[in-house]
Chain A
């Protein structure tokens, strides 16, 4: 008798219970994968901590002059004498150093209009830095007005080149992020020569400022920043102090050749300019700013950032308490 194989069992459709089980398992699996991806995205990548700027201050020999003020009709000669009164540029710059010089080049203005640092002062600093054996001198700023116009019109582009320095005009790739850890400024985008340099020399000038009362040494660091700088105006005095604490310069040479007495920081009218024919140099920016403010007829306590910087331990506003050398002009 031949056995006939049994016919294949008919395919049974899913029951409603089975279909629900499959659907809920699939939903649970998808949900698990989705949640995993969601949580994975929320975990921040391990970020590299930002570096702060180097401290460029140097120890001064005991008994050395801390500040010098030199009067005379020749701005370059005043600069030379002021730096020599502090022990010469060799006391601040070592052979082979890469040095950044930071004048105020913020404005499309002529030297006579006194909105920028005097080009003769800048050139003299560059020459002295090179004579001290520096391997490189960068002269830089991030102007408020068009950079090419400002560097050219101020005379600083030409003066820098003639003195053997390198002018560094900013562009969008010129800035590096650094840690500030100030009260209002925590991180900043800073011009690369200021980050790279072994020594930093501040070359500000003295002028009226509509918001901070004066633009002097500490306010000059505003010009190393990129990005949205306007936000600093919301707490301008504290911002200036944060900047001064961020950049600790080796030397500051305050150009007092021409003072912009009103309508700063832009200026433009020679009616607002007063000739003073002097250069002050030192290592204490607070002291230099107190002296500069006095030239504008302001007491240190009338300039918010000077008092704030002094309270933060950045220096003294009593510049006459320092070992001060004050000499007449070339003669």
Chain B
């Protein structure tokens, strides 16, 4: 009886320690860290500017702005983005296939709902729907659309660039999953 009690007293702690050791070594479910998510998010954002872009080319560097730096690009327009969970902006100058200047700003709004919210917020009452985009408006010199978690603003500076906006917009939209 004495031996049995001793065996129980020894076996139970050993088993418990063994079980804890085993559980501690089971790898956690695979979830990317915030840093890994950020890197992946930036890569997805920059990939939207890769060829083909309906003949347009990125001129110079693509500038990335986070919530802290957004004021340096859009100043007092920044808060309405930040309060809608804005994650990052990629801003680029493009040259259309025939050499006209345009700018392309792609806002990663973290979620489709946030992107839809900023699209609705900025949409002018007189804006006309942009053909070919589920949520898009076009007007003289501009094309704005929302797709997935992205809010995209294309601005032209002359008639040639304006004519290129729909095709460039479609090229970007086509890369958004």
Contacts and interface: CB of A to CB of B under 8 A. Distances in A.
B33 interface: no
A222 B105 CA distance: 24
Interface stretch (B12-20, B36-44, B50-58, B73-81): B73-81
B72 A265 contact: no
Interface residues of A, number: 26
Interface string A252-280: 00000000001111101111100000000
B124 A211 contact: no
Interface in B132-166: 137, 139-142, 144, 153, 155, 157
A270 B141 contact: yes
Contacts of A236: 76
A6 to B, nearest CB: 85
Given A108-B103, A272-B124, A210 B72 contact: no
A278 B137 CA distance: 30
A110 interface: yes
Nearest to B68: A230
Contacts, number: 64
B176 interface: no
Contacts of A270: 139-142
A269 B76 contact: no
B127 A271 contact: yes
A320 interface: no
B140 A263 contact: no
A145 interface: yes
A144 B77 CA distance: 12
Given A265-B77, A268-B153, A268-B155, A144 B72 contact: yes
Interface in A226-247: 230, 233, 236
A145 B74 CA distance: 8
A153 interface: yes
Interface SS of A by simple majority: loop
B122 interface: yes
A211 B139 contact: no
Contacts of B137: 271
B77 A268 contact: no
A268 B75 contact: no
A189 interface: no
A264 B77 contact: yes
Contacts of B127: 269, 271
Contacts of B75: 106, 144, 265-266
Contacts of A271: 124, 126-127, 137, 139, 142
Contacts of A112: 140-141
A54 interface: no
Most chain A beta-carbon neighbours within 10 Å: one of B79, B126, B142: B142
Nearest to B101: A153
Given A269-B141, A269-B142, A263 B76 contact: no
A153 B72 CA distance: 19
Given A108-B103, A233-B71, A210 B79 contact: yes
A209 B71 CA distance: 13
Interface string A91-124: 0000000000000001010101100000000000
Given A236-B76, A269-B144, 10 more contacts: A112-B140, A153-B157, A210-B79, A262-B122, A264-B77, A265-B75, A265-B76, A266-B74, A271-B127, A271-B139
6 contacts: A210-B80, A233-B71, A262-B124, A268-B153, A269-B139, A269-B144
